[in-house]
Amino acid sequence: MTWDWSAVADFMPRFWDGVLVTLQVLVLGSLISFSLGLVWALAFRAPSRFVRWPVNVFTEFVRTTPLLVQLFFLYFVLPEWGVQFSALTTGTIAIGLHYSTYTAQVYRAGIDAVPRGQWEAAKALSLPAHRTWSAVILPQAIRRITPALGNYVIAMLKDTPLLAAIGVLELLQQSRLESASTFQYTEPLTVIGIAFILIAYPASLLVRSLERRLVR
Amino acid sequence: MTAGLWQNWVLPGIWITVQLLVYSAALAAVTAFAVGMARTHRSRAVRFLAGLYTEIFRGTSALVLMFWLFFVVPPLMGWQLVPMWAAVLALGLSYGAYGAEIVRGALNSVARSQRESGIALSFSPWQRMRLILLPQAVPEMMPPFCNLLVELLKGTALVSLLGVGDVSFAAYLVRLATQESAQIYTISLVIYFVLAMVVTRSMKALERRTKRNIGIEPEPALLGGLFARRSASAAGTEVAGGASK
């Protein structure tokens, strides 16, 4: 078995299509996970136990069960309930929901790290609750947690191939289609494997430098 | 769901998932310690190679790695991997790379004076590692390792895409047979949740034990076992933050 450069060249159009879909999933999935995670994190601090408890159990459950099974769950069960989404939408929602339970923990840690005095100051100024959060607590919390969120975006990137299982045309699915039509398995799979490393490694360097700059 | 489906698919599926978890965790542990210790080695070449390993295996997707080991390596090498072993290899090697970072972090967090006292006693590097550094670093590694093990458990679901008959694959077959997706997928999620609880409980016990061995008592678990992972997750964010599947 030898390496065939023409197979790589043939794969390129599909490869770029896959890159686009992967990035689309990544961007929308990140947005979902960042905003939903914040909702969970605020709910963790809700005054009522009847809000805190279900949210805790739900996020813990989603966090400790496999994304792949959740993906199938949404893909096969939502239509039974009369909600019909495309595979791409389902996949993006699944990945965003799954990672929102991680970002929720990150937000929680960030919020807990804001010094007590800041809460007291907001109280002393008699700021309303939404101003306390939006002007005092969250800006300080989010600065600290940006690197941790970045790490989860990278993790999310490496989970996007799971969406191939429901037929989303991201990188892995594109390489499988290519292999199915040309019987060349080596080149497409190797190309996308290297592509992941080439994106993930510089991204992790970026996160590390952010960490040095923002956290201390 | 009829009894036949349980006996033929779901129960064997649970057994396969447990086996996968044990084998790949063992491989990941060996890899993590070997690579993690190599990253603190004196020689720059050894450190570089170990660093390269971590970046490559952490950089790529576990699923892509699994497909690669299954479809690309066989024609290159001229032999075929059983899907189960391709899966164990992919999971063990990639989660081992995440584990290596944990090992390195814990080794580096052992107080400097401890290493220096080992040098003063003219211990060999290996004696220092074995007698001074590792015993103090291992309890430190336990909470992030616990998180990683749960991630690994979740990662085992990927093998269903190679056709290995684990819980996820059983769920897929049962869905085809009964057309009741909600039921079987809820059941399989609950199975994974229960397995994860067993994992976190046992890791908690192991942490307690390793800490008692060197004379530190762990803090009492908050709110019991269900939420035990929470206290650990804060410490684990930087190290295992990139881990997932």
Q: What is the mean pLDDT of residues B91-103?
A: 95
Nearest-neighbour CA in chain A from B193: distance (Å)? 6
A65 vs B185: CA distance, rounded Å: 11
Which one of A100, A144, A158 makes the best mutation probe of the B interface by having the most chain B beta carbons within 10 Å? A158
Percent over 90 (pLDDT), chain A: 69
Domains and CATH numbers, chain B: 3-240 (1.10.3720.10)
Asked whether the beta carbons of B26 and B190 are under 8 A apart, the reply is no
Chain B residues in contact with A189 by the CB 8 A cut-off are: 64, 67-68, 71-72
Domains and CATH numbers, chain A: 5-215 (1.10.3720.10)
Say which of A105, A148, A196 has its CB closest to residue B64.
A196
Burial profile B135-145: b = 16 or more Cβ within 10 angstroms, e = fewer: ebbbbbbbbbb
* Most confident stretch, A34-38, A78-82, A187-191, B56-60: A34-38
Chain B residues in contact with A166 by the CB 8 A cut-off are: none
Q: What is the pLDDT of residues A123-134, one digit of tens each?
A: 999 999 999 999
pLDDT at A89: 95
Chain B residue with minimal CA distance to A200?
Answer: B59
Residue B240's pLDDT band, with cuts at 50, 70 and 90, is very low
Contact A66 B60 (CB under 8 A): no
Q: What is the mean pLDDT of residues A109-137?
A: 92
Residue B218's pLDDT band, with cuts at 50, 70 and 90, is low
For residue A54, give both structure tokens.
């279900």
Residue B237's pLDDT band, with cuts at 50, 70 and 90, is very low
Rounded mean pLDDT of chain B?
85
pLDDT at B220: 58
Chain A residue with minimal CA distance to B64?
Answer: A193
Q: What is the pLDDT of residues B131-164, one digit of tens each?
A: 999 999 999 899 999 999 999 999 999 999 988 8
- What's the CA dihedral at A71, A72, A73, A77 to 10 degrees? 120
Q: Is A186 on the interface with B (CB under 8 A)?
A: yes
pLDDT at A212: 86
No. of H helices and E strands in chain B?
12, 0
pLDDT at B228: 46
pLDDT at A185: 83
Rounded mean pLDDT of chain A?
91
